[in-house]
Chain A
């Protein structure tokens, strides 16, 4: 790995906006702009780790009401009930719809949790400038970026179903506050992943 030269060694910096590689004059001027797109040039995203942590923690906090509060209100023939994410999974599992239960479980519980863990892992290892499994970590990051927004599946399902099932007396489905929290959680984790600068992963090599 040491063979690959670092940007700093070459005194160049890549623009975050358009990817243009420019001469690194940040040491002299303090702030420089990309000659092509005009974006501020930075070696790394500013406060990347702190921002990612803050957003991650916010997401974690909101994940509690998202799971504790009901996400959906279903009424069939006047008999209604509110269901949380986990109760929905359990209900589907009990009624024998294992596939649906699994899909909901993966999309609403497994993926967000995995995301929390992954971002947390990336952040701690980046702060500690760990040199272990750098490639795997880089792959992990790409993975969470790819799968991140699939967590919105739940939100989409509730939105679509509550818009479609409007049969007044027969049956009704309404969204509940929990789904809002869940959507915010997903957005926050995505923002957290976005504010994490993947190049930090490789900075451990710097020494």
Chain B
């Protein structure tokens, strides 16, 4: 309509321009809307991060479109899909990560499901009780990125960006250690076990531990690690001692390390290897060095000697028994016990340095060393270490007057001659005891005893007996007389006594009655006493009166005197009231 009306006059340029301008203004609205829409679209498209898939053993707690992926508690993505993998053994969670979380696709990024966990190391993930499980991420450092990851079943003990270093420990068995077990340095927790697995050959367990910075610098080339699990109870001269790192280690195990004070060692690089000792004492002991295998051949049976029994030299523990086998000597027709021992010459310390002749081959070196000593009477003996249990140990000692034996320096393994020590030892002792008994002057003792007996024999036993007999007879008569006297006493004197006592009782009762509170005698006595009191008072009045008026004795009492004494006058009427 509008257009029509404007067409009717002369169609001029200015209104056309004005109209076009006018139209374009309102079309700005959809243009702006389109712009906004496009920008939103672009933003959405740009913010779409990479999509990765993580395999888990179970999808417990995971929910497609709900479960979040969190890195340091910041949401970085969401599980978009959960499917089973081809063979159905695992679940594959497809995660759409945010754009900003692109660096979480590094190949060594770790994923795990955060669920409530209760363990010996504490409680974690309690917040997920209400909010549901989420997937935790720990960023990696690898340059290679990946789209497929394998989720961990347990949260990693150490997150990737924690400052510190990890080290490798080797141990014979894992004990109660576990991932997350604490590592202590001077009883301060400075790290934890991050992984444990068997060596390829299955002979040892390889533990990876992580020491937090700055404590990782305490680990040096000379550091010793030991298993601090459980309780170490010892009973020594200073009393009962109980050692443990912390209550937690009793339950869950732990590792402790220390560096010998006198030899701090050098700084060491990451992933250095150490041996985990079973306890502090063995960890801190000086290193044993290479072991030497030596064979001993005993002719006597060795019940009580067990594998692991110590080998002592001058009281120093040099090694242990590692094998025991039976052998047969065809010439002597005897069974022999072959005992293999392992000795650590390093344990001799400075003695070794003094005695040793330098040689490249340690076996030959020790052979030469031993051959000297064997020539001087060094022998191995099986000795009884504990009389109660009968445990034996091997003692290497100089035996005096030992028969000379040939020592083969070239034999491998070396065979150290033995002396049938332990049992002979006991025999010797018994022999010496028997000898002592032998030396006792038994004959002289016998003679003296004989003389004493003779003297006793010489005594006049017959006359003594007769005398004794008469004395006893007399005594019997005396006793009879005494008996009679006592009976008389019983018959006559006692009834009399009873009677007398009864009379006395009666007399006493009477006396008691007389003296009683309401007895007439007592009443009379009181009366009499009162009378006497009154008489005494009258007498006093009389004397007072006479003292004042002596003339009245002569002249008699005058009436005007009567009211003169003031004191007795008021007393008089009071007298009867008092009584």
Interface residues of A, Cβ cutoff 8 Å to B: 26-27, 43-44, 46-47, 50-51, 54-55, 57-59, 61-62, 64-65, 68-69, 77-79, 81, 184, 188, 200, 203, 206
Contact = CB atoms under 8 A, between A and B. Distances in A.
Given A47-B23, A62-B36, A65-B36, A188 B132 contact: no
B116 to A, nearest CB: 13
Contacts of A43: 1-2, 5
B33 A58 contact: yes
A79 B132 contact: yes
Contacts of A62: 33, 36-37
B531 interface: no
Contacts of A55: 26, 29-30
Given A54-B27, A54-B29, A78-B130, A44 B34 contact: no
A62 B23 CA distance: 21
A57 B30 contact: yes
Nearest to A81: B66
Contacts of A206: 1
Interface in B410-444: none
Given A43-B5, A65-B37, A77-B130, 18 more contacts: A26-B5, A27-B5, A27-B8, A43-B1, A46-B22, A47-B22, A47-B26, A54-B29, A55-B29, A58-B32, A61-B33, A61-B36, A62-B33, A65-B41, A68-B40, A78-B130, A79-B130, A200-B1
Contact of B37 (A47, A54, A64): A64
Contacts of A27: 5, 8
Interface in B111-143: 127, 130-132
A184 B5 CA distance: 35
21 contacts: A43-B1, A44-B2, A47-B2, A47-B22, A50-B27, A54-B29, A54-B30, A55-B30, A61-B30, A61-B34, A61-B36, A61-B37, A65-B36, A65-B37, A69-B44, A77-B130, A77-B131, A79-B131, A79-B132, A184-B33, A188-B33
Contact of A50 (B1, B23, B34): B23
Contacts of B32: 58
A54 B34 CA distance: 11
A46 B25 CA distance: 13
A74 to B, nearest CB: 12
B294 to A, nearest CB: 69
B1 A203 contact: yes
By Cβ-Cβ distance, the 10 closest A-B pairs, closest first, are A78-B131, A58-B33, A58-B30, A77-B130, A57-B30, A61-B33, A58-B29, A54-B26, A65-B40, A79-B131
Contacts of B33: 57-59, 61-62, 184, 188
Nearest to A184: B33
A57 B37 CA distance: 12
Contacts of A47: 2, 22-23, 26
Interface range, B side: 20 to 34
Interface in B63-91: 65-66
Contacts of B30: 54-55, 57-58, 61
B19 to A, nearest CB: 8
Contacts, number: 68
A159 B498 CA distance: 123
A78 B127 contact: yes
B79 to A, nearest CB: 12
Interface string B1-44: 11001001000000000000011001101101110110011001
A24 B1 CA distance: 14
Dominant secondary structure at the B interface = helix
Contacts of B2: 43-44, 46-47
Contact of A69 (B5, B27, B40): B40
A69 B36 CA distance: 13
Contacts of B127: 78
A81 B22 CA distance: 45
Contacts of A61: 30, 33-34, 36-37
Nearest to B66: A81
B291 to A, nearest CB: 60
Q: Which of A44, A46, A47, A58 counts the most B-chain CB atoms under 10 A from its CB?
A: A58
Contacts of A51: 26
Contacts of B40: 65, 68-69
A46 B132 CA distance: 59
Contacts of B29: 54-55, 58, 188
B426 to A, nearest CB: 78
B382 to A, nearest CB: 71
Contacts of A188: 29, 33
A44 B23 contact: no
Contacts of B23: 47, 50
Q: Which of A78, A184, A200, A203 counts the most B-chain CB atoms under 10 A from its CB?
A: A78
A51 B29 CA distance: 9
Nearest to B23: A50
A48 to B, nearest CB: 9
A127 to B, nearest CB: 11
Q: Which of A62, A64, A81, A203 counts the most B-chain CB atoms under 10 A from its CB?
A: A62
Interface string B199-241: 0000000000000000000000000000000000000000000
A92 to B, nearest CB: 16
Given A58-B32, A65-B36, A79-B66, A50 B26 contact: yes
Contacts of B44: 68-69
Contacts of B22: 46-47
Contacts of B1: 43-44, 200, 203, 206
B295 to A, nearest CB: 71
B28 to A, nearest CB: 8
A178 to B, nearest CB: 10
A184 B37 CA distance: 12
Contacts of B132: 78-79
A116 B378 CA distance: 113
Contacts of A59: 33
B183 to A, nearest CB: 34
A57 B32 CA distance: 11
A171 to B, nearest CB: 11
A188 B34 CA distance: 13
Contacts of B34: 58, 61
A26 B30 CA distance: 32
A46 B131 CA distance: 58
B178 to A, nearest CB: 30
Contacts of A54: 26-27, 29-30
Interface string B49-72: 000000000000000011000000
Nearest to A48: B2
A77 B34 CA distance: 38
B35 to A, nearest CB: 9
A50 B2 CA distance: 12
Contacts of A200: 1
